[in-house]
Amino acid sequence: MQAAVVVFPGSNREGDAARALEAAMGRAPAMVWHGDSDLPKVDLIVVPGGFSYGDYLRCGAIAAHSPVLREVKARAKAGVAVMGICNGFQILTEAGLLPGVLLRNAGLGFVCKNIGLKVETSQSLFTSGYSAGQTLSIPVAHHDGNYFADEATLDRLEDKGQVAFRYCNAEGGLSPEANPNGSARNIAGIFNDTKNVLGLMPHPENAVEPLQGSTDGKAMFKGIVEALS
Amino acid sequence: MKARVHITLKNGVLDPQGRAIAHALDGLGFAGVNDVRQGKYIELDLAETDRKAAKTKVEAMCSKLLANTVIENYAIELVD
């Protein structure tokens, strides 16, 4: 399996994503600079976290129109697996690969902590390492993670099983207190309708070693590698 | 020609920043502010001299980049 991590000016989790991928794949992913439109032929493209282009205009808005993203869009449409983490999720919504948008956190503050994350389905290449309903501890670190879409879109996401993860408490309950940013229906991550694109605000790449306080993200990368190898 | 673009949040979209501004105004003693919605103002200096062509161009800019029409509305004003 081959993977690529896209890097923008202002990305800051690309090294963490590469490290988590390398641990799972046994080889380093290709790092692709934002101005490049020749993306190597890979099975997985990761759009990492950070503050691409300083988050000017709107989070992810400028990155969504960069040369490399045009290529990412074409690959995603052709069925290649694409994973957007945090700023990467914002970029994928701005690029139109995922529905909805990520607004400023309802509490206005930057949220940086481990949160409870409920796996909604194991039926995807991204979540096959988990079982449905499983509760994970994964860190979030964002200012704009408040998932918003109109009610019809939210209903459609639920009906089609496109909700990947929700914020939950330790018991797996979807209480408002467990929601760190005001996201609609506690949504933390979604798939596109063909489930080859995932966007999520939490950072599984920062939960792969005991030193990081949780290793719950490891199974995500392991599952992805198994699904794509 | 200049284009002035006002970008505002659609009705029903939560605006926590607007709410914080409303709280701050209240704290300063400005009573009677029922609601605050925060938006963006973007000024473009255009080489285009034809108003109709300029409007079409700026509309395309708005829908493609300047506004996210999932959550935002935009209004364009052209100034010679």
Q: What is the pLDDT of residues A125-163, one digit of tens each?
A: 999 999 999 999 999 999 999 999 999 999 999 999 999
A117, A101, A88, A123: which is closest to A194 by C-alpha?
A123
The half-sphere exposure of A199 on its side-chain side, counting CA atoms within 13 A, is 25
Which residues on chain A are in Cβ contact (under 8 Å) with B71?
A: 101, 103, 148
- The verdict on a CB contact (< 8 Å) between A182 and B14 is yes
pLDDT of residue A37: 76
CA distance A4 to A21: 9
CA distance A193 to A98: 9
pLDDT of residue B22: 95
pLDDT of residue B8: 96
pLDDT of residue A38: 84
This model of the complex carries an ipTM of 0.83
Residue A161: DSSP 8-state = T
CA distance A85 to A13: 9
- The verdict on a CB contact (< 8 Å) between A101 and B71 is yes
- Residue A203: active-site member: yes
Instruction: Pull the structure tokens for residue A89.
Output: 């999720």
Find the residue in B nearest to A94 (Cα): B68
Find the residue in B nearest to A101 (Cα): B70
Calculate the CA A30 to chain-centre distance: 18
- The verdict on a CB contact (< 8 Å) between A104 and B17 is yes
Instruction: Pull the structure tokens for residue A179.
Output: 């929601």
- What distances in angstroms separate CA A15 from CA A43, A47, B15, one per listed residue? 19, 12, 33
- Residue A14: active-site member: no
This prediction has a pTM of 0.94
A186, A205, A215: which is closest to A29 by C-alpha?
A205
Q: What is the pLDDT of residues A96-132, one digit of tens each?
A: 999 999 999 999 999 999 999 999 999 999 999 999 9
Residue with tokens 């973007």: B42
Mean pLDDT confidence for A190-204: 98
Instruction: Pull the structure tokens for residue A157.
Output: 């996401």
Residue A202, pLDDT > 90, answer: yes
The residue annotated as part of the active site, out of A59, A86, A94, A120, is: A86
- The verdict on a CB contact (< 8 Å) between B65 and A100 is no
Give residue A18's domain range.
Answer: 3-228
Q: What is the pLDDT of residues A17-73, one digit of tens each?
A: 999 999 999 999 999 998 887 899 999 999 999 999 999 999 999 999 999 999 999
pLDDT of residue B16: 87
Residue B34, helix vs strand vs coil = coil
Which residues on chain B are in Cβ contact (under 8 Å) with A107?
A: 16
A118 touches A132 (CB < 8 A): no
Domains of chain B from N-terminus onward: 2-79 (3.30.1280.10)
Q: What is the pLDDT of residues B22-59, one digit of tens each?
A: 999 999 999 999 999 999 999 999 999 999 999 999 99
CA distance A121 to A118: 9
Report residue A85's pLDDT band, with 50, 70 and 90 as the boundaries: very high
Find the residue in B nearest to A153 (Cα): B70
A108, A98, A135: which is closest to A119 by C-alpha?
A135
Q: How many domains does chain A have?
A: 1
Residue A95, helix vs strand vs coil = coil
pLDDT of residue A21: 98
Q: Provide the number of CB pairs (under 8 Å) joining chain A to chain B.
A: 37
CA distance A99 to A80: 18
Mean pLDDT confidence for A80-84: 98
Give the 3-state secondary structure of A192-215. CCCCCEEEECCCHHHCCEHHHCEC
- Residue A112: active-site member: no
Q: Which residues pair with A30 in a beta bridge?
A: A4
